Amino acid sequence: MTNNEKLDFILTRSSVRRFSSSLTPEETETLLRAAMSAPTAMDYQPWHFVVVNDNAVKDRLRSFLPYAKMINENCTGIVVCGDISLYEEVSKRDGEDNTLYWVEDCSAASENLLLAAHALGLGAVWTGIFPLESRISKLRETLSLPENIVPLNLILAGHPAASGRVKDKFNKSKIHYEKF
């Protein structure tokens, strides 16, 4: 712990995988407000969020997402997606494919969402979808995603039934100076 409360707040976030109840509509909106405050390349804000509270939809997600098998009636699912159609014009202009900026922007938004859950005393965990085509295609079908909308992850969030384990992952060997 440091002598800076906000820094400690960042450092003490952990992944929560057991929940006692799902998010209220107000909590959901608050988490998404924080997500949408992330910076984005060229201010494109490529994100879309599909909120899942319906148990039949959760059952389907659980059937093909091994790492999200803990999704149940006691938590809310939020699928963070990116709109890749936004990059067509600028990629043409630059002569280079800018499309993958959506992954960066939506990942920054996802981290904000996880931190906002921590701020509210809620719990959340990020489970991976992109870049695995097998998961993307099934999610596309389950959530009726249009061609230009790609799912990045499925975040589970809710009121925590057990606290997560805070990990100290600081590693000086990952820091280089002036060159690698």
Site for its own copies in 100-159 (CB under 8 A): 100-101, 103-105, 107-108, 110-112, 114-116, 118-120, 125-126, 128, 130-134, 142-146, 149, 152-153
Return the ∠ at Cα 46 (arms to 44 and 50), rounded to 5°. Answer: 155
Nearer to its own copies, 21 or 25 (CB): 25
CA dist list (Å): 161 to 45, 92, 164: 33, 49, 10
Q: Using the rule CB under 8 A, which residue among 20, 21, 54, 162 binds its own copies?
A: 54
Residue 93 sits in the site that holds its own copies (CB under 8 A): no
Query: Measured from the CB of residue 20, what is the shortest distance to its own copies in angstroms?
Result: 20
Query: Measured from the CB of residue 161, what is the shortest distance to its own copies in angstroms?
Result: 19
Q: Using the rule CB under 8 A, which residue among 23, 52, 68, 84 binds its own copies?
A: 52
Distance CA 175, CA 180 (A): 9
Per-residue b/e over 126-141, b at no fewer than 16 CB within 10 Å? bbebbeeeebbebbbe
Nearer to its own copies, 41 or 161 (CB): 41
- Three-class SS of residue 69? coil
Structural element, H or E, at residue 159 = strand 149-160
60-79: contacts with its own copies (CB under 8 A): none
